[in-house]
């Protein structure tokens, strides 16, 4: 392959020429590199706070060391287990419900031949992706608040007694799961619709000739066809199993102490202690534990996947 540059120049000073070219290219990437270093790589050093007694006036590096005290407090107080359990369970629940819903939507929408109906319904289902979680929080309030919420309006009109959902922790996993699926259904189904339209049309034609029913066609051609996409989506999400979607939890649940046992995830816990400026040591420990474990899970899963079938590996 031709490496660029005037032939004469390359012949005269190949090393210098290439060095100049690399320097120019690096300078083009410089703004991104600076942003990554300053706002992603430098803050990684802040993770050492997990082993320190943080004081704002002394900063990250001036604060005194205190060994594993922070971790001891985090797990002895029970908070560590609670928020880890909640984070993992919510992620599993949300992962399966939202992916299953998206796959169903994609399969059904691609079977619809009426283009106008298909376009309009797809647009409508995609709409929730575009609104902020603040607005979703408004919806939740609109539906569930005790005095004026739509749910209680409906219950009262049917002569049933109103419920105070905000004092029923058991209901919230389902509410959160519902709104998560609701917000991401359109986005995820776009991915699966792309996967389905990418499937070779030949097997479909053969199935048509052999007289396969629609459900047989879906089960034996479409499902295996989108399997690689399903696996990729699962792998991407597994790496995030310890990361709670902070914006969602915070806007749907808010700072409602009654619901913490059922709804507190690592990210909301960290955020709350940040705002209240309390338990910063335990928070730093939770942060480090989250970052390190997430990294370890991704590396292990990726290595295993690479061994089984390197096509599915993330990197």
Partner 1 sequence: MNNSISVKVKDRSSFLFYFVCYLFVVIVAVISLIPFLMLISGSFTSEHAIRFSGYSLIPKEWSLSAYELIFKTPMTVIHAYGVSILITVAGTAIGLFVTTMAAYVISRKDFKYRNVLSFFFYFTTLFNGGMLSTYIFYIRYYHLKDSLWALIIPGLFNVFYLLIMRSFVSSVPSALIESAEIDGAGEYRTFFQIILPLLQSGLATIGLFIALGYWNDWYNAMLYINSTDKYPLQYMLYTLMQKTEAMSRIASSAGIPVMDMPTQSLKMAMAVVATGPIVLVYPFVQKYFVKGITIGSVKG
Report the site for partner 1 in 141-180 (rule: CB under 8 A).
141-143, 147-150, 152-153, 156
- Residue 56 interacting with partner 1 (CB under 8 A): yes
State the binding string over 63-92 for partner 1 (x if CB under 8 A, else -): ------------------------------
- Residue 14 interacting with partner 1 (CB under 8 A): no
57 vs 202, beta carbon nearer partner 1: 57
Choices 84-92, 166-174, 243-251, 303-311 (CB under 8 A): range interacting with partner 1: 243-251
- Residue 225 interacting with partner 1 (CB under 8 A): no
Nearest CA-CA partner of 137 in 194, 185, 179: 179
φ and ψ at residue 64, rounded to 5 degrees: -80, 150
Name the H helices within 112-217: 115-126, 133-144, 150-157, 172-197, 202-209, 214-217
Binding to partner 1 (CB under 8 A) within 268-287 occurs at 270-271, 274, 280, 283-284, 287
Choices 76-84, 91-99, 163-171, 246-254 (CB under 8 A): range interacting with partner 1: 246-254
Nearest CA-CA partner of 230 in 312, 108, 125, 295: 312
Interface residue with partner 1 among 45, 261, 276, 278 (CB under 8 A) is: 45
Q: What value does the CA radius of gyration of the chain take, rounded to a whole number of Å?
A: 26
97 vs 291, beta carbon nearer partner 1: 291
* CA separation for the pair 172, 174 (Å, rounded): 5
**Cβ at position 124, least distance to partner 1 in Å:** 4
**Cβ at position 220, least distance to partner 1 in Å:** 15
- Residue 137 interacting with partner 1 (CB under 8 A): yes
Concatenating the DSSP letter of every residue in 15-60 gives HHHHHHHHHHHHHHHHHHHHHHIIIIIHHHGGGGGGGEE--TTTHH
**Cβ at position 92, least distance to partner 1 in Å:** 21
Choices 68-76, 89-97, 124-132, 202-210 (CB under 8 A): range interacting with partner 1: 124-132
**Cβ at position 113, least distance to partner 1 in Å:** 9
Contact 233, 188 (CB under 8 A): yes
80 vs 149, beta carbon nearer partner 1: 149
- Residue 24 interacting with partner 1 (CB under 8 A): yes
* CA separation for the pair 118, 31 (Å, rounded): 43
**Cβ at position 10, least distance to partner 1 in Å:** 10
* CA separation for the pair 26, 20 (Å, rounded): 10
Q: Distances in Å between the alpha carbon of 2 and those of 10, 15, 21?
A: 11, 15, 14
Contact 176, 245 (CB under 8 A): no
280-308 helix and 69-76 helix, angle to the nearest 10 degrees: 90
**Cβ at position 32, least distance to partner 1 in Å:** 4
**Cβ at position 17, least distance to partner 1 in Å:** 10
Interface residue with partner 1 among 177, 234, 294, 301 (CB under 8 A) is: 294
CB-count exposure of residue 201 (10 Å: 0-12, 13-18, 19+)? exposed
Q: Of how many residues is the chain composed? A: 315
**Cβ at position 67, least distance to partner 1 in Å:** 19
For 313, half-sphere exposure in the C-beta direction (CA atoms, 13 angstrom radius) is: 13
- Residue 29 interacting with partner 1 (CB under 8 A): yes
Choices 88-96, 105-113, 201-209, 219-227 (CB under 8 A): range interacting with partner 1: 105-113
């Amino acid at each position: 392959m031709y490496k660029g540059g005037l032939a004469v120049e390359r012949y005269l000073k190949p090393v210098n020429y290439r060095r100049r070219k690399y320097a120019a290219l690096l300078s083009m990437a410089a703004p991104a590199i600076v942003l990554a270093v300053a706002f992603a790589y430098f803050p990684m050093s802040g993770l050492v706070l997990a082993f320190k007694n943080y004081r704002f006036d002394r900063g990250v590096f001036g604060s005194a060391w205190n060994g594993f005290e922070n971790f001891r407090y985090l797990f002895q107080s029970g908070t560590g287990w609670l928020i880890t359990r909640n984070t993992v369970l919510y992620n599993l629940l949300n992962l399966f419900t939202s992916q299953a819903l998206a796959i169903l939507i994609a399969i059904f929408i691609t079977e619809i031949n009426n283009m106008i109906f298909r376009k309009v319904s797809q647009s409508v289902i995609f709409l929730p992706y575009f609104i902020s979680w603040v607005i979703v929080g408004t919806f939740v309030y609109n539906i569930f608040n005790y005095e004026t919420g739509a749910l209680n309006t409906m219950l009262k009109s049917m002569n049933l007694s109103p419920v105070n959902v905000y004092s029923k922790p058991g209901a919230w996993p389902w509410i959160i799961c519902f709104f998560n699926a609701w917000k991401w259904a359109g986005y995820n189904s776009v991915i699966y619709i792309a996967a389905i339209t990418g499937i070779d049309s030949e097997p479909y034609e053969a199935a048509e000739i052999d007289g396969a029913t629609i459900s047989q066609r879906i089960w034996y051609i479409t499902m295996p066809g989108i399997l690689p996409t399903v696996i990729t989506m699962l792998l991407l999400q597994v790496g995030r199993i310890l990361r709670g979607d902070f914006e969602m939890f915070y806007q749907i649940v808010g700072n409602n102490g009654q619901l913490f046992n059922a709804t507190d995830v690592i990210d909301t816990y960290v955020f709350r202690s940040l705002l209240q400026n309390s338990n910063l040591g335990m928070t730093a420990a939770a942060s480090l534990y989250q970052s390190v474990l997430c990294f370890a899970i991704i590396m292990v899963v990726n290595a295993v996947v690479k061994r089984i079938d390197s096509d599915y590996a993330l990197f």
